[in-house]
A = this chain, B = another copy of it.
């Protein structure tokens, strides 16, 4: 059994800081669960375009409020605690916060921890992440 505490993990290299958000990877590919699990904080009043071309991601809002826009259609969904969205079509999307949002995120395939967000908003596939 693996047991990890977010507050402790945030003091380690499991915490990845980016402009306007950070993400703490509580499970990564080398945990061999077949998915990775991250707690991501999106700062207040920020907006971000993401496009996971090589991963499916589900995102559950634990706290905070904002919107997600489907960039292919312009459709906007309100995000508040208890709302989950799942990018089952590798959907390009824009996340915009009103207040700081804390999100519980699952990725398949699991993130290795070596990925960086590329200029197009994607993570590289694991094979290109070295």
- A-to-B contact residues, CB < 8 Å: 1-7, 26-27, 31-35, 37, 39, 56, 58, 60, 62, 68, 70, 77, 82-89, 91, 93, 104, 106, 108-109
* Complex Cα–Cα for A27 and B79 (A): 17
Give Cα A117–Cα B79 distance, bound, in whole angstroms: 32
Q: A58-B27, A62-B62, A106-B106 are in contact. Are A1 and B85 (CB under 8 A)?
A: yes
Could you tell me if A3 and B83 are in contact, using CB atoms closer than 8 angstroms? yes
Known: A58-B27, A62-B62. A108 touches B33 (CB 8 A): yes
With a cutoff of 8 Å between Cβ atoms, the chain B residues found around residue A62 in the complex are 62, 104
Contact among B6, B27, B77, B83 with A6 in the assembled complex (CB-CB below 8 Å): B83
Contact assessment for A86 and B31 in the assembled complex, using a CB-CB cutoff below 8 Å: yes
Whole-angstrom distance from the CB of A129 to the nearest CB of chain B? Answer: 19
Closest-CB distance, A101 to chain B (whole angstroms): 14
* Interchain CB contact under 8 A, A60 and B1: no
A26, A34, A62 pick with most chain B CB within 10 angstroms: A34
